[in-house]
């Protein structure tokens, strides 16, 4: 009995300590942020649209990689209406290299909803934001707090890691249970801070002073605490309590609250789970070249690189003969789609083209790592001989018109068109070096 009593007492002490740590983290992080916030382009004018686009870009992508994409995207599509009216090919092109293309498709879907239902604006309501395509708990929390000053948390992997260390949590931080627990604790802590500092949190925010560095003052400070708090955790997670390597506890605003630091457990927390090995898929990539043009194929609407243009190919590592045979089959398929009456079956809508006439050259191997899979690619450039190439060049004009409607599954495109108009997945980056040179 005495033991049970002692365990219960310990549990209560632990819970109290934990609640204190969450509560005291709010003023500590706000103070630190005033002097240490990262200067980032999307923090200069944190409108709901700017916060939304930047947060979606930052998912699975490093801050440094996002800067240039963000500025280019905003320069071309300055508001919600511009996104809703942009073509899918244009959006994918602007996103090319960032990966996870479903993100930009969801931005377009959400922009159309915003134009239809919310007068081209993002709603100042966490639950309504949460209902938009591509916006989950974290992004809704980030937009609501940073752009509207609503006191809600934005919990991502960085936040989970920081608070697992602060509270000494030794189990799997990716579990829904822990995520929910951290979100609840942070929500309570932010609200408590709001109650106790009424002059600091009004709930009506225009984006405030977030991220400019240096102590904030006056009216701007009044409405920006929830957003500054969430951005402070993001910055601590990215620059101080880092995911890989030793955390910089000597520079951390939370070190006086941190259980992992005081108990020497920073290397053990968060608990590491054995990573599952990614399946490796062997593929053969074919650069089918006809004069100045190369054949592109649109990937299926669902799955990996959904809807992106790719250089066509087949599963497995093909030999020279296998690559030429696959190329002839693909050409026959393009002919069948472009002109169902093409009896040549060689993609040239005319006299037969034997696969032995195709010239194949081996290109370097390449690997591309996705989050849940890996491609081990073998490449060939396949050149289509003279007359057949001329017929393809003529057919490609017609082909370009169908591509513009978004219905084409194959497209003959020049290197310039690929560079400027058609987003080819970055998994094929190595093979772009071998595109046919354009005549000046
Ligand atoms: S004291 Fe160290 S381990 Fe604890 S939150 Fe700060 S950086 Fe992370």
Distance 63 CA to ligand 1 centre (A): 21
Q: Is the predicted pLDDT of residue 429 greater than 60, yes or no?
A: yes
- Pick the catalytic residue from 10, 44, 55, 64: 55
If you average pLDDT over residues 359-370, what whole number do you get? 92
Q: Which CATH architecture has domain 280-432?
A: Alpha-Beta Complex (3.90)
Confidence (pLDDT) at 412: 86
- CA-based end-to-end distance of the chain: 90
Confidence (pLDDT) at 330: 86
pLDDT in tens, 194-213: 888 864 444 444 333 333 33
Nearest residue CA, atom 2 of ligand 1? 249
Distance 261 CA to ligand 1 centre (A): 6
pLDDT in tens, 230-256: 999 999 999 999 998 899 999 999 999
Record the tokens describing residue 303, joined without a space: 């799955």
- Identify the residues whose C-beta falls under 6 Å from ligand 1: 162, 165-166, 240-241, 247-249, 252, 254-255, 258, 260-261, 266
CATH number listed for the domain at residues 2-262: 1.10.340.30
Confidence (pLDDT) at 403: 47
Kindly state the percentage of the chain with pLDDT values over 70. Answer: 82
The reply to whether 55 belongs to the active site is: yes
What pLDDT band is residue 52 in, cutting at 50, 70 and 90?
Answer: very high
Kindly state the percentage of the chain with pLDDT values over 90. Answer: 56
Q: Is the predicted pLDDT of residue 408 greater than 60, yes or no?
A: no
Q: What are phi and psi of 50, to 5 degrees?
A: -65, -45
Confidence (pLDDT) at 425: 84
pLDDT in tens, 116-131: 999 999 999 999 999 9
Q: Is the predicted pLDDT of residue 43 greater than 80, yes or no?
A: yes
Instruction: Identify the residue with better confidence: 406 or 65.
Output: 65
C-beta neighbour count of 158 within 10 angstroms: 18
pLDDT in tens, 83-115: 999 998 899 889 988 888 889 999 999 999 999
Residue boundaries of the structural domains of the chain: 2-262, 280-432
If you average pLDDT over residues 32-47, what whole number do you get? 95
pLDDT in tens, 282-320: 999 999 998 888 999 988 878 888 888 899 999 999 999
User: Quick one: 222 exposed, middle or buried, by C-beta within 10 A (0-12, 13-18, 19+)?
Assistant: buried
Q: Is the predicted pLDDT of residue 404 greater than 80, yes or no?
A: no
């Amino acid at each position: 009995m005495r033991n049970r009593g002692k365990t219960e007492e310990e549990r209560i002490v632990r819970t109290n300590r934990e609640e204190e740590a969450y509560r005291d983290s709010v003023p500590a992080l706000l103070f630190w942020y005033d002097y240490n916030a990262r200067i980032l382009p999307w923090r200069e004018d944190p409108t709901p649209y700017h916060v939304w686009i930047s947060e979606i870009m930052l998912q699975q992508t490093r801050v440094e990689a996002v800067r240039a994409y963000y500025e280019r995207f905003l320069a071309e599509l300055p508001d919600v209406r511009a996104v809703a009216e942009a073509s899918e090919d244009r959006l994918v092109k602007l996103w090319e290299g960032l990966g996870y293309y479903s993100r930009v498709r969801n931005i377009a879907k959400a922009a159309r909803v915003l134009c239809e239902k919310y007068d081209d604006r993002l709603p100042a309501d966490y639950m309504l934001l949460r209902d938009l395509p591509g916006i989950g708990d974290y992004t809704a929390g980030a937009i609501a707090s940073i752009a509207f000053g609503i006191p809600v948390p934005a919990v991502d992997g960085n936040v989970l890691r920081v608070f697992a260390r602060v509270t000494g949590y030794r189990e799997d931080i990716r579990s829904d249970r822990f995520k929910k627990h951290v979100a609840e604790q942070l929500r309570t802590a932010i609200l408590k801070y709001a109650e106790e500092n009424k002059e600091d949190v009004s709930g009506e925010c225009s984006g405030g002073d977030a991220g400019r560095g240096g102590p904030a003052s006056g009216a701007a400070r009044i409405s920006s605490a929830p957003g500054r708090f969430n951005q402070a955790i993001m910055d601590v997670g990215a620059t101080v309590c880092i995911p890989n390597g030793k955390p910089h506890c000597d520079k951390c605003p939370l070190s006086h609250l941190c259980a992992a630091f005081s108990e020497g457990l920073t290397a053990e927390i968060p608990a590491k789970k054995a990573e599952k090995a990614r399946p490796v898929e062997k593929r053969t990539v074919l650069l089918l070249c006809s004069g100045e043009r190369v054949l592109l194929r649109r990937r299926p609407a669902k799955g990996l690189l959904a809807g992106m243009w790719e250089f066509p190919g087949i599963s497995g590592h093909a030999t020279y003969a296998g690559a030429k045979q696959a190329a002839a089959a693909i050409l026959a398929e393009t002919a069948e789609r472009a002109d169902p009456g093409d009896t040549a079956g060689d993609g040239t809508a005319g006299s037969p083209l034997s696969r032995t006439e195709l010239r194949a050259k081996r290109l370097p191997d390449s690997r591309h790592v996705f989050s849940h899979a890996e491609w081990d690619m073998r490449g060939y450039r396949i050149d289509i001989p003279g007359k057949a190439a001329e017929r393809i060049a003529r057919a490609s004009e017609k082909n370009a018109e169908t591509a513009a409607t978004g219905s084409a599954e194959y497209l003959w495109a020049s290197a310039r068109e690929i560079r400027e108009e058609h987003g080819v997945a970055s998994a094929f980056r190595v093979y772009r070096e071998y595109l046919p040179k354009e005549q000046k």
